[in-house]
Chains A and B, each alone.
Chain A
């Protein structure tokens, strides 16, 4: 049985159909990429999956449970983690404290008034940081980290409650080429080791083709193609609306001009 089953998901804003009849399934341990031009509805899809937006119609079954109508916090507790396009971390805390915060919430301790937060779940936090190679920076202030390190920190925060599914919104946006490869290799290895599933959006086609088991292409709110990297690469419709006629995706990922 698939971990995530999305069926005829739709959403419109003021008469504009942002997402139209989107259906797909995601198996445990699978990395699924969602690609398409800006404004195609990728972020809207994401926001419906994690409860920030309420879908107009459709169902989302996660591990057999309906997610539509649940708020983001409940969905998180069911085992779905999330990273953002622009990293969202706690700048005024140390790296370790960032992870401890997620652990404190997972263990429902955020209303505790007396014990020191910095002493709580320290080993667990260090283990998570080690997993993403950030342990040596555990005591540094998060506010002074390099962007690539912030991305890794965010990943370990998202993994803190042992999620079964990770939603990653443009995980490599704003990173240097080498950093992109390192980060996605890290994600791939975590997927292999833990059987976690990943659904991600991405603009960098090299990342997409190298690190996804399957791809879906969204255009004007609809899925116009789904399949393996090769199938998508050779799909005429996808070439026409997104990848372009030439071999533009080794240099850029946006629409191409037919020269």
Chain B
């Protein structure tokens, strides 16, 4: 069996992997765009494009809200996202065991 096949192409980007890691440990909590930006040390545009890829794959949910007049966009992980991320981790693990 070749374990590489189970690796999720979408998580090959370090930023998308980072977003999923943050949302994974903050289940049931909304994480704001600014928190993500600060944690991952990326630019607005870069983060936004990766977030939309994850959203298109239904791995994350987007909630648009307001704090006063400022928009406050927050993100949370979906069941599908959780499953995909766990699958990716399992594949990484299998991969490392396979190579040993």
A, B co-complexed: no
